[in-house]
Chain A
Amino acid sequence: MKSHVMSQLAALEAESIHIFREVAAEMERPCLLFSGGKDSIVMLHVARKAFAPAPIPFPVMHVDTGLNFAEVIAFRDRWAAQLGLRLVVASVQDAIERGVVKEEPNGSRNRIQTPVLLEAAAREKFDALFGGGRRDEEKARAKERVFSFRDEFGQWDPKNQRPEIWSLYNGRVFPGESIRVFPLSNWTELDIWSYIAEEEIEIPSLYLAAEREVVERDGMLYAVNEFVPLRSGETSQKRSVRYRTMGDANLTAAVESVANTVAKVVEEIAAVRITERGATRGDDKVSEAAMEDRKKEGYF
């Protein structure tokens, strides 16, 4: 007799497909946030499966901080074009020039991308935004719903979330309000990588180990490039590194690694003993509740 049991990756994929279809069926104007990072690549891959053989029935949007790796931007553009999707780019640089937001003294554009995201979403009248957030990433995300209600200011109220029972999602909103949807909520970093391997999904080469010119700062390794110039007194060195996350190029650190294929990355991730944000994101180290605070302001 057949077992009729799905592998856990197949079960995760099926759950995500269900979420995509539910949003496409019930929301007026959904949009998928696509950065060219691995989570959003997987998200787009699953979205394509949800509606095949029809095309994905919503556009994609990227909040471009102006500090992204060039390769990732090229990857983003190529993928959107390949799938025939409309790509909305909300530019932080442009918003700074228009005076909508102000550059922060520490050079991080993480916080100021929130108003830019909200402005673009309002302009496009998006009532549902898909994000690639996963609950294993961070404590605040662990408690967020798959359908995360946001008020007219895009704010998340952790104490006032809609109960989410079975897979009966409630995306009802009044004009101006919206839902952030996280189809990959139950995936872990290892699941993402295992899935990329199993499905042979193309990813930016920055995710794979290569000899790169790096500088060490506060115990983290940053690739030397136009966003991270050497400071006086610093010396750079060639190390074999890869990226675990794709944030802003000036803030995202690389990790030492010899994993130059996806299969080797899967092996490394399975054995790794530090969270991806802890290892690579200067922006999340600010405080215990950094993510919680940003989310309340409308961040993903």
Chain B
Amino acid sequence: MEADLLRFATAGSVDDGKSTLIGRLLFDSKSLFSDQLESVERVSRERGDEYTDLSLLTDGLRAEREQGITIDVAYRYFATPRRKFIIADTPGHTQYTRNMVTGASTADVALVLVDARKGMTEQSRRHAFIATLLGVPHMVVCVNKMDLVDWSEEIFENIRREFTEFAARLRLRDLTFIPLSALSGDNVVTRSTNMPWFDGAPLLSHLERLHVASDRNLVDVRFPVQYVVRPQSHENRDYRGYAGTIASGVLKPGDRIRALPAGLDTEITTIETADGPVTEAYPPMAVTITLKDEIDISRGDMLCRPNNVPAVMQDIDAQVCWMDESAPLTAGKTYAIKHTTRWARAVVKQIDYRIDINTLHRVEGVEGLALNEIGRIRLRSTKPLFVDPYLSNRQTGGFILVDESTNRTVAAGMVVRESGS
């Protein structure tokens, strides 16, 4: 079987050993190169570290090394014969919530690190909350630094109990706990002999075997039209193909489809790729679809099944994470909104509440949302968007807001439910 792709997100501070864990995964899976390791060993030696600081592998920019912090999402890659892994590595402090949101947005799995000596912290709660908010289907809690608590099963079990109680308030589908030591490598790639009481798999085996295929939505056909292919050549004079990436569902030639916003139905003639036609297409394939009837369809439109359509609406309730430091999200202000391949403008009608991400409490009566704050808002868009609730469809439930005066991406939004349209 060919290797597939798994994306996971990690978050945490330097203290809880996250960078060391990533360094360990790369090192033990033999994905580290000798010149990278030499450079890290040299810096470690020059600093007088007692052991090679694997965290130096991931803290890349000079500004970061100078300040001893991580300022952004870093992407790392490693592969085993079963899978290729993409790690979105983000710093864990409050001020980096936006990076955590970015990393979690495409992740299949969230790794939450807990220092065995400290137990659950606000940071681990925050990370678990954000991963859930972003609909990450799997979570692995890595109870790290077990070597510093004498490999104690009791300590591990206490953390597991506390975290499970907390997680009951979140919508988590799959939660796994692994006791490990990133520094010594116990239960990272190889099974620990120091913790015979743990009968689960080491982290890497768990990530290799995790079943993610069924996380994709293969039921609701959603095809946002991204680009209209019109060759303008003699041999392809009448060719008109709708190119895009399957957001969800499975499409086949001959399927009846409805084009939104036109609301007209037709049939799929062919599903094409540059390598030839295919008999079916599923997410996240990038294909070009030709249709039986000529319907006026352009970028930003959506193809779906006549009996299974997204909500077509302008009033949108959403959770948003505010990502801009220059100005807060403000009720009454208008932003550009990008949803699938469709741009519109949207005015913030109201801010319902802010979520205190440490306590998960709702704070009502807020004037705005500042950088890294998360809240629930209502938007009204200038034209209809074709949306599904984020929890049932990450592709058609997510959107970004852009400040038109700066062109900066200022918010990530997740559609909560269809409101009256």
Q: Please, how many angstroms separate the alpha-carbon atoms of A164 and B103 in the complex?
A: 9
Out of A8, A24, A54, A167, name the residue touching B231 (CB < 8 Å): A54
In the complex, chain A residues whose CB is within 8 Å of the CB of B275 = 49
CA distance A135 to B72 in the complex (A): 14
**Is B226 within 8 A of A166, CB to CB?**
no
The residue in chain A whose Cβ has the minimal distance to the Cβ of B62 is: A289
A136 close to chain B: CB less than 8 A: yes
Contact of A11 among B73, B213, B280, B284 (CB under 8 A): B284
Q: How many A-B residue pairs have CB under 8 A?
A: 183
- Checking A3, A5, A25 against B226 with a beta-carbon cut-off of 8 angstroms, the contacting residue is A25
A173 CB to closest chain B CB (Å) equals 6
Asked whether any CB of chain A lies closer than 8 Å to the CB of B93, the reply is: no
Q: How far is the CA of A112 from the CA of B106 in the complex (A)?
A: 37
Q: Are B408 and A159 in contact (CB under 8 A)?
A: no
- A158, B72: Cβ atoms under 8 Å? yes
The answer on a CB contact under 8 Å between A25 and B341 is yes
Q: How far is the CA of A48 from the CA of B274 in the complex (A)?
A: 8
Residue of A nearest to B300 (CB): A25
Flag if B245 contacts A53 (CB, 8 Å): no
Cβ of A166 and Cβ of B106 under 8 Å apart?
Answer: yes
Chain A residues in 8 Å Cβ range of B226: 18, 21-22, 25
B282 is contacted by which of A4, A142, A173 (Cβ under 8 Å)? A4
With an 8 A cutoff between CB atoms, is B400 at the interface?
A: yes
When the two chains form their complex, are residues B105 and A165 in contact, meaning their CB atoms are under 8 A apart?
A: yes
Closest to B232 in A: A54
Compute how far the CA of A288 lies from the CA of B233 in the bound complex, rounded to whole angstroms. Answer: 51
Q: Decide if A165 touches B412 in the complex (CB within 8 Å).
A: yes
A8 touches B282 (CB 8 A): no
Residues of B within 8 A of A162 (CB): 408-409
Please indicate the chain A residues that have their CB under 8 angstroms from the CB of B60 in the complex.
139-140, 142-143, 292
- Given A25-B341, A162-B408, decide whether A18 and B286 contact each other with a Cβ distance below 8 A: yes
Question: Which of B77-85, B147-155, B194-202, B379-387 lines the interface with chain A?
Answer: B77-85
User: Which A47-65 residues have C-beta < 8 A from chain B?
Assistant: 48-55
Indicate which residue in B65, B75, B213 contacts A186 across the interface (CB closer than 8 Å).
B75
Q: Choose, from A125-133, A207-215, A247-255, A273-281, the stretch at the interface.
A: A273-281
B227 touches A24 (CB 8 A): yes
B182: which A residues are within 8 A, CB to CB? Answer: none
Asked whether B284 lies within 8 Å of A6 as measured between CB atoms, the reply is: yes
Q: Given A21-B286, A159-B63, A11–B407 Cβ distance below 8 Å? A: no
Given contacts A21-B243, A50-B286, contact A135 B75 (CB under 8 A): yes
A142 to B236, CA, bound (A): 41
Complex: A6 Cα to B339 Cα, angstroms:
25
Q: A140 to B77: give the CA distance in the assembly, Å.
A: 14
Q: Are B34 and A273 in contact (CB under 8 A)?
A: yes
Contacting residues, chain A, for B250 (C-beta < 8 A)? 4
The stretch among B1-9, B121-129, B311-319, B360-368 that forms the contact with chain A is: B1-9
CB distance from A132 to the nearest CB of B (A): 16
Q: Would you give the shortest CB distance from B399 to chain A, in whole angstroms?
A: 7
Interface centre among B86, B250, B323, B399, by most A CB within 10 Å? B86
Known contacts: A54-B230, A143-B73. The answer to whether A11 contacts B4 by CB under 8 A is yes
Task: List chain A residues, Cβ under 8 A from B75.
Answer: 135, 142-143, 185-186
- Chain A, range 6-42, C-beta contacts under 8 Å to B: 6-15, 17-18, 21-22, 24-25
**Chain A residues closer than 8 Å to B106, beta-carbon distance:** 166-167
Chain A: interface secondary structure? loop
A240 within 8 A of B: no
Give the residues in chain A near B175, CB-CB below 8 Å: none
Q: For window 82-104 of chain B, which residues contact chain A by CB distance below 8 Å?
A: 83-84, 86, 98-99, 101-102
Cα–Cα distance between A170 and B411 once the two chains are bound (Å): 12
Identity of the chain A residue whose Cβ is nearest the Cβ of B239 in the assembled complex:
A53
What is the bound-complex CA distance between A292 and B61, given in angstroms? Answer: 7
Q: Is A275 a contact of B398 with CB atoms below 8 Å? A: no
Q: Is B51 an interface residue (CB 8 A)?
A: no
Contact in complex: B229, A170 (CB < 8 Å): no
Cβ A136 vs Cβ B77 within 8 A: yes
- Chain B residue at minimal CB-CB distance from A171: B407
Chain A residues near B232 (CB-CB < 8 A): 54
Decide if B336 touches A8 in the complex (CB within 8 Å). no
Q: Counting CB contacts under 8 A, is A102 at the interface?
A: no
Residues of B within 8 A of A6 (CB): 4-5, 284-285
Q: How far is the CA of A107 from the CA of B243 in the complex (A)?
A: 46
Q: Return A100 CB to nearest CB of chain B, in Å.
A: 28
Contact residues of B between 241 and 291, Cβ < 8 Å to A: 241, 243-245, 250, 272-275, 280, 282, 284-286, 288
A48-B274, A50-B286 known; A25 and B239 CB under 8 Å?
no
In the assembled complex, B71 has its CB within 8 A of some CB on chain A: yes
Are B286 and A51 neighbours in the complex by a CB distance under 8 Å?
no
- Judge whether B35 is part of the interface by a CB distance below 8 angstroms: yes
| Distance, CA A289 to CA B74, complexed state (A) | 16
Residue A99 CB within 8 A of the other chain: no
- Which of B102, B105, B407 touches A170 (beta carbons < 8 Å)? B407
Interface residues of A in 154-209 (CB under 8 A from B): 158-159, 161-168, 170, 172-174, 185-186, 188, 190-191
Give a binary string over B127-163; 1 marks a CB under 8 Å from any A CB, 0 the rest.
Answer: 0000000000000000000000000000000000000
> A188 contacts which chain B residues (CB < 8 A)?
77, 79, 84
Given A170-B338, A190-B79, 13 more contacts at CB 8 Å? A6-B4, A6-B5, A10-B285, A18-B245, A50-B274, A52-B272, A53-B236, A55-B231, A163-B323, A165-B105, A168-B399, A188-B79, A188-B84
A residues sitting closer than 8 Å to B (CB atoms) are 2-15, 17-18, 21-22, 24-25, 48-55, 135-136, 139-140, 142-143, 158-159, 161-168, 170, 172-174, 185-186, 188, 190-191, 272-275, 278-279, 288-289, 292
For the complex of A and B, the 5 pairs showing the least CB-CB separation, nearest first, are A139-B60, A278-B35, A49-B274, A7-B2, A17-B286
Residues of B participating in the A interface, judged by any CB pair closer than 8 Å: 2-5, 33-36, 39, 58, 60-63, 65, 71-77, 79, 83-84, 86, 98-99, 101-102, 105-106, 213, 216, 218, 226-227, 229-233, 236, 239, 241, 243-245, 250, 272-275, 280, 282, 284-286, 288, 299, 323, 336, 338-339, 341, 394-395, 398-400, 402, 407-409, 412
Would you mind naming 28 contact pairs between A and B with Cβ atoms under 8 Å apart? A3-B213, A4-B213, A8-B2, A9-B2, A12-B5, A21-B244, A22-B341, A25-B226, A25-B299, A53-B231, A53-B233, A53-B241, A54-B230, A139-B61, A140-B61, A143-B75, A163-B409, A165-B105, A168-B339, A168-B399, A170-B409, A172-B402, A173-B407, A186-B86, A188-B84, A274-B35, A288-B65, A289-B61
